[in-house]
Amino acid sequence: MANLTGKVALVTGASKGIGAGIAKELAARGAAVAVNYSGSKAGAEKVVAEIKAAGGKAIAVQASVADPDAVGALVKTVVKELGPIDILVNNAGIYEVGPLEQITPEHYRRIFDVNVLGLLLTTKEAVAHFNPNGGSIVNISSVVVDGVPGLTVYSATKGAVDTITTSLAKELGPKKIRVNSLNPGMIETEGAHAAGFIGSDFQKAAEARTPLGRIGQPQDVATAAAFLASDDSGWVNGQAIFASGGFTL
């Protein structure tokens, strides 16, 4: 299981949910992990404490990935504290549910700035400080790339993530940096609870469309992310891997 020993990983938006699960899984496999957070310092510190209690190495670093200056400082801190980056997991993301008539320029910019611009800014800075031997970038996308009513802008951002993944896989391949997307289905997270999805008709509909008959847990995504981060997936590049239990819209 410890196939990431000696690696340095940066996981954005890792104070809770899928990001926290990925950070803990990478650490359990031997990586030193930078747990990035935007607003939840307590959540990030809890993840770090859990990693350390299990014998791993981690630090918490605050930064909004949509802020160019903050992203530069984030990456520099990671490199200073842990060393050159081997693994980047672009997990930070936000979503807002609403019909077409509620879409505004502010709504659009808010979601695209974090989900797309933030991913690009973080990748740009991280690649400049990657291990010369290469590494792996995992972009957290979603099954909603096929389009979901009420999540039009969010779905568009995840479609962009998959396209960016394909482009960067080709561009960064010569640097021995692999780039893949990981597309979860519905996952039980703090955010899903706060949005009222858990226990709702929305959850029941998702389960009905999932051949495995349940929604996912953060660990379901974390193990897939660890595979893409490791040398075990050394010949996997430019792919969108669906971690969704076979969910179809």
Q: Distances from the Cα of 41 to the Cαs of 22, 44, 48, 60, 105, in angstroms?
A: 17, 5, 11, 8, 29
Please give the residue that has the higher pLDDT: either 27 or 149. 27
Question: 161-189, pLDDT tens digit by residue?
Answer: 999 999 999 999 999 999 999 999 999 88
* Averaged pLDDT, 228-244: 97
Q: Which two tokens stand for residue 194?
A: 């706060």
- Asked if 187 contacts 216 with a C-beta cutoff of 8 angstroms, the reply is yes
pLDDT for position 146: 83
Average of per-residue pLDDT across 69-77: 97
With 90 as the cut, is the pLDDT of residue 242 above it?
yes
Mean pLDDT score of the chain: 95
What gap in Å lies between CA 232 and CA 212, rounded to an integer?
25
In this predicted structure, the answer to whether residue 26 has a pLDDT above a threshold of 80 is: yes
Q: What is the pLDDT of residues 91-125, one digit of tens each?
A: 999 998 889 999 999 999 999 999 999 999 999 99
Say yes or no to pLDDT of 30 above 80. Answer: yes
230 to 43, 58, 149, 155, 178: CA distances (angstroms): 26, 18, 35, 28, 10
Comparing 6-15, 71-80, 191-200, which segment has the lowest mean pLDDT?
191-200
- What local confidence, expressed as pLDDT, does residue 224 receive? 97
Mean pLDDT of 77-86: 98
The confidence band for 248, taking pLDDT boundaries of 50, 70 and 90, is confident
Sorting pLDDT into bands at 50, 70 and 90, what band is 191? Answer: confident
pLDDT of residue 195: 80
Q: Which of 60-64, 193-197, 218-222 is the least confident region?
A: 193-197
Positions marked active-site: 154
- What domains can you pick out in the chain, each with its CATH number? 8-243 (3.40.50.720)
β-partners of residue 140 are: 182
* 15-17-23-26 Cα dihedral, nearest 10 degrees: 170
**For residue 2, what pLDDT is reported?**
55
pLDDT score for 1: 55
DSSP-based three-state secondary structure for 63: coil
pLDDT tops 90 at residue 6: yes
